């Protein structure tokens, strides 16, 4: 699992029918300290996240698991909304 911030939404009328009724969001991956890392990506949303929220997401084959038994063609899926997190810094 990875951490990201939801930074936008995607509206796509023509798309693979297996994505019908699935919300697509733009996410910015984050480091554990909360700094941006890497490029933004589009993720299917399985938990009802919104812009500005921090989320957990998965990539690869696991990205379709939240939609089982359907096989949704997605490379990234949001699987949780983060309320807060804390990272201990080494002494």
Query: How many domains does the chain contain in total?
Result: 1
Q: Tell me, yes or no, whether 72 lies in a domain.
A: yes
Residue 37: what pLDDT?
Answer: 96
Tell me the residue range of the domain where 43 lies. 2-12+22-81
In whole angstroms, what is the distance from residue 59 CA to residue 75 CA? 5
45 pLDDT exceeds 80?
yes
CATH number at residue 64: 2.40.50.220
43 pLDDT exceeds 90?
yes
Q: Tell me, yes or no, whether 8 lies in a domain.
A: yes
User: For the segment 1-20, what is each residue's pLDDT rounded down to a tens digit?
Assistant: 999 999 999 999 899 998 88
Model's pTM, two decimal places? 0.90
Residue 54 · residue 62 · CB < 8 Å = no
Q: Tell me, yes or no, whether 62 lies in a domain.
A: yes
Mean pLDDT of the chain: 92
């Amino acid at each position: 699992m990875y951490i990201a911030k939801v930074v936008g939404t995607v509206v796509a009328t023509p798309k693979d029918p297996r994505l019908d009724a699935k919300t697509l969001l733009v996410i910015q991956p984050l480091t554990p300290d909360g700094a941006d890392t890497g490029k933004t990506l589009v993720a299917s949303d399985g938990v009802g996240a919104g812009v500005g929220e921090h989320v957990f997401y998965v990539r690869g084959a696991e990205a379709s698991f939240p939609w089982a038994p359907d096989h949704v063609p997605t490379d990234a899926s949001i699987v949780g909304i983060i309320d807060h997190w804390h990272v201990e810094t080494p002494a």
